[in-house]
Chain A
C-alpha cells in the first residue's frame, strides 16, 4: 500500500468527521455564526428527555357513520311523508341500521323507487314480512361507510391540529396512525389534563328549543313525547357550592349548530366579572338565527354543548346581529379553551384516548444528566481497559471509539433522528460493542505475530481475516435493530436508531480509521514492532 493511498484515506476520514462535527456543533454550543445555526438543527430530543405529552387517540368512526345514518333517515322520513307513502315505525336501531314497516305492496314499490332515485347511498340490507306488513332494514353502502370513516379521521386530524395550534404548543406533532388513530406529541405541556380536555372535546354545539307544551315530570317518568329528548344541565348552588343536575325537555330537532359560527371569543361580564364565550355567526348562520329567534319569541332556546345544556334563556326579542353567548360558571382557562374548540370546529366523531404518556420536564432533565454520566463513565472504563490490554494499539482503538461517538451524534443531528432515553442506552451499548471490532482485529494480529510474521504482514493478515467476521456479526445485529425499528413506538424506535447508526459508524471507525493509523506507522514510519 502506497503513501498516497494513506493520504486519500486520511482525507476521506477528515471530511466525514468534519461533516459530523458540522452537524453536531449546534447541539454543543450556541456561539456559532448564524448562517451555520440556521442551516443545522440541534439533536432532537424525544418527549421522555425534554418532557411533554404523547397521546394516541382513536376516532370513533362508527359514531360518525351512525350520525350520518341519523341524518339520512330523517331526510327519508320527510320525503316519504311528502310523497305520501304509507309507512310505520321508521327508526334508527343500534348501530347504523334504520328500520321501517311498509303496510302493503304498493307502498313497498313506491318506497323502493324513492330509495333508488333519492338515496343512492342507502341499501336494503334485508326485509321480512311481519304481521302482513313488510319490515325493511336499511344500511349505508359499504363504500360510503368507508368514505365517511375516512373523512371523519381526516376531519378530526385537521380539527385537532387547529386546536393545538391555537393552544400554543411549540413544535407539536400530529400525525395519523393506522386506519383510525391519531398520534399527538406535545413537547413541554405543563397541564396534561387541560390539553387532553382541549383536544378530546367533541365540541358539538347545538341550539334546540325547549318543549314547554309537555310536562317535564311526565317525561322523566318515561313518557317522553315523540320528537323530544331529555338533556341535563348543571348549576352550582351558591349556598352549598354543590353542582346540581337540572333536567330539560328539549325538541329533538337541532335548529342551528356550531358549524355556522364565524368566531368565538372569551369575554368578561361587566356585572359579575364572570368569564363567558361570545359567539359570532357567519352570514348564513346570522340569517338563520334571526329567523329562529323571530319565530320563537318568548320561548326558551337551549344552548347544548356535547349533549349538556349550558343555558336555556328566554328569547326576549328577535336577534338580528348574529351574536350569541354561552354563559356558565367557567374559569378563565375553561372559557379560553372553549372558545378555541368552538373556533376550530367540532370533531366529526368522538375521540377516545388509547395511550397517554407524559413526562415532566424535571424527570427529562434527570434522564439526560444520568444518561450523559453513564456514557462518560462507560467510555472512560472502556478506554482505560483498552489501553491496559492493548498498549498503544489500545489508544488507536480509543481514538476510533471517540470518533465513533462523534459520528453517532453527528448522524443523529444530520438525519433529524430523535434521541430518547433508550436511545442513550443504545449509544452506551454501542460503545461496548464498537471496540469489539478492534478486539477481533487485534486478537487476529496477535495470532499472526505469534506465527512470526512481520508487523506489516501481521496487520494486513489480521485485518483481512477479521473483516468478514465483523461484517457478518454486525449485519445480524443490524437485522435485530431494524426489526426493532419497525416494531417500535417512540422511545424504542430511538433505541433502534442509535443502535443501527452506532453499528454502521463503528464499522467505519474500527476498520477503516484504525487501519490508516497502523498503515501510517508501519509504512511511513517503518515501525518494526507493534505494541499490541
Chain B
C-alpha cells in the first residue's frame, strides 16, 4: 500500500511564503490571545491554590455544590464538571492554598457532608500547591524548555551545521508558541503535564525535522549541480511518505489516549494532538525552508566558492 506515490515532487518550498505568512498569523493570534487573557490560564501547579476532585453518586450541578460551599466561604471558587457528563465528577478550585486556609479539603468535605451525606460523594483527588512551589515550578518549566533547546542546538550543530540547528530551533519555538496559543485561545488550563507534553512535542517535531535534514545533507553530498532550493524541495518530497506515516501512527495512539485515557490525561493528549500536527507541518514548511532563508542572508562557504 502507498499513500504518497514514489517519485512525487510537489513544489513545497515554493509555498514557503504562504506557509511563513500563515505561521506568522497563527503566532500573532497566539500572542494576542495570551495578551488579552492576561497571560496563560495557569493551573494550580504554577499559580498555587487548591484543587479538589469529587465524584458524586447522584446527579448534581455546579449551583448546588456552590450553595453548599457558601457556608465555608468558598462560594466563589471555580466549580466545573470534570470528564464525561454522566460521571458526576466535579473539580473545585480556589486560589487559596493551605497556608491561608488550613485543612481546606477537610472543610470542603464537611460542607458537602451536610448537603449530600457521607455516602453521597467521594473525594478522589486533592492538590494543594503553595505560592512558593508554584513560582519554583514556573521557573523550572521555562528553564527546562530553554535547556532542551540549548541541548538540541548543540547536538544539531555538531551533527549537521549551525544553519540546520537554527532552522530546527525556529521550528520548535514555532510549535511551542502555537500549541500554547491554542491552549490560551480555548482557555484551557496550563498545568505541569502540559509542560511535559510541550517537551514531548519538541522531541517529536525535532525527530521529524532531523529526518528531513538528514536527507538534505545526503543529497547535498550527492548532487552538486542542483540549487539548494531544489535539493531541499526534493529531499522533503523523498521523505514525505515517511513523514505522513509516522505522524499517522503517532496520531493514532494519541487519539486512543485522548478518547480513552480518562479525564486526568485528557488535556495532555489534546496538547499532544495539536503539537504533533503542528510539528509535522513545521518540519516540512518551516524548518527546512528556514535553511534557505538563512542561506540567503549568510551564504555557506561552498556556495561562495562557486
A residues within 8 Å of B by Cβ? Answer: 48, 56, 58, 192-193, 196, 352-360, 362-363, 366-367, 370-371, 373-374, 377-379, 381-382, 385-386, 388-390, 421-422, 424-426, 428-429, 431-433, 435-436, 439-440, 443, 446-447, 450, 465, 468-469, 472-484, 486-489, 491-492, 495-496, 499
CB distance from B190 to the nearest CB of A (A): 14
Known A58-B132, A432-B252; further 16 A-B contacts with Cβ < 8 A: A192-B126, A352-B130, A355-B130, A357-B126, A358-B105, A359-B124, A385-B248, A389-B245, A472-B214, A476-B203, A476-B206, A479-B152, A479-B155, A487-B141, A487-B147, A489-B192
Which stretch, B12-20, B24-32, B259-267, touches the partner chain A? B259-267
Question: Is B123 interfacial (CB 8 A cutoff)?
Answer: yes
Question: Is B161 interfacial (CB 8 A cutoff)?
Answer: no
CB distance from B104 to the nearest CB of A (A): 10
Cβ-defined contact, A443 with B239, below 8 A = yes
Cβ-defined contact, A475 with B6, below 8 A = no
Cβ-defined contact, A429 with B126, below 8 A = no
Residues on B with beta carbons closer than 8 Å to the beta carbon of A196: 103
Contacts A382-B253, A429-B253, A472-B214; is A422 near B265 (CB within 8 Å)?
yes
Cβ-defined contact, A477 with B214, below 8 A = no
A378 to B250 CA separation, bound complex (whole angstroms): 9
Interface set, chain B 222-250, CB cutoff 8 A to A: 238-239, 241-242, 245-246, 248-250
Closest to B245 in A: A439
Question: Is B204 interfacial (CB 8 A cutoff)?
Answer: yes
Cβ-defined contact, B269 with A356, below 8 A = no
| From B203, B241, B253, contact of A428 by CB (8 A) | B253
Closest to B7 in A: A450
B residues within 8 Å of A by Cβ? Answer: 1, 3, 6, 53, 55, 98-99, 103, 105-106, 122-130, 132-133, 137, 140-141, 143-144, 147-148, 151-152, 155-156, 159, 192-193, 195-196, 199-200, 202-204, 206-208, 210-211, 214-215, 218, 238-239, 241-242, 245-246, 248-254, 256-257, 260-262, 264-265, 268-269, 272
User: Of B202, B254, B260, which is in contact with the most chain A CB atoms at under 10 Å from its CB?
Assistant: B260
| From B133, B155, B218, B261, contact of A476 by CB (8 A) | B155
CB distance from B25 to the nearest CB of A (A): 27
Residues on B with beta carbons closer than 8 Å to the beta carbon of A377: 256, 260
Residues on B with beta carbons closer than 8 Å to the beta carbon of A367: 262, 264-265
| From B98, B151, B215, contact of A479 by CB (8 A) | B151
Residues on B with beta carbons closer than 8 Å to the beta carbon of A486: 144, 147
Cβ-defined contact, B254 with A429, below 8 A = yes
CB distance from A237 to the nearest CB of B (A): 21
| From B130, B152, B210, contact of A354 by CB (8 A) | B130
Residues on A with beta carbons closer than 8 Å to the beta carbon of B148: 479-480, 483-484
Cβ-defined contact, A474 with B144, below 8 A = no
A431 to B218 CA separation, bound complex (whole angstroms): 28
Residues on B with beta carbons closer than 8 Å to the beta carbon of A479: 148, 151-152, 155, 203
- Total A-B pairs in contact (CB under 8 Å)? 226
Contacts A425-B261, A484-B199; is A443 near B241 (CB within 8 Å)?
yes
A440 to B124 CA separation, bound complex (whole angstroms): 44
Residues on B with beta carbons closer than 8 Å to the beta carbon of A482: 151
Q: 28 pairs across A/B with beta carbons < 8 Å?
A: A56-B133, A353-B98, A356-B98, A363-B125, A374-B260, A381-B252, A421-B264, A421-B265, A422-B193, A425-B257, A428-B261, A429-B200, A432-B254, A433-B207, A439-B242, A443-B245, A469-B215, A472-B214, A473-B210, A473-B214, A476-B156, A477-B206, A477-B207, A479-B148, A481-B203, A484-B144, A487-B143, A489-B137
CB distance from B7 to the nearest CB of A (A): 8
Closest to A477 in B: B203
Contacts A358-B126, A472-B214; is A439 near B249 (CB within 8 Å)?
yes
Cβ-defined contact, A356 with B127, below 8 A = yes
A119 to B6 CA separation, bound complex (whole angstroms): 86
Residues on A with beta carbons closer than 8 Å to the beta carbon of B268: 422, 425
Closest to A193 in B: B106
Cβ-defined contact, B253 with A378, below 8 A = yes
Residues on B with beta carbons closer than 8 Å to the beta carbon of A465: 218
Residues on B with beta carbons closer than 8 Å to the beta carbon of A428: 253-254, 256-257, 261
Cβ-defined contact, B211 with A469, below 8 A = yes
Closest to A191 in B: B106
A428 to B265 CA separation, bound complex (whole angstroms): 12
Residues on A with beta carbons closer than 8 Å to the beta carbon of B151: 479-480, 482-483
Contacts A429-B250, A475-B155; is A378 near B257 (CB within 8 Å)?
yes
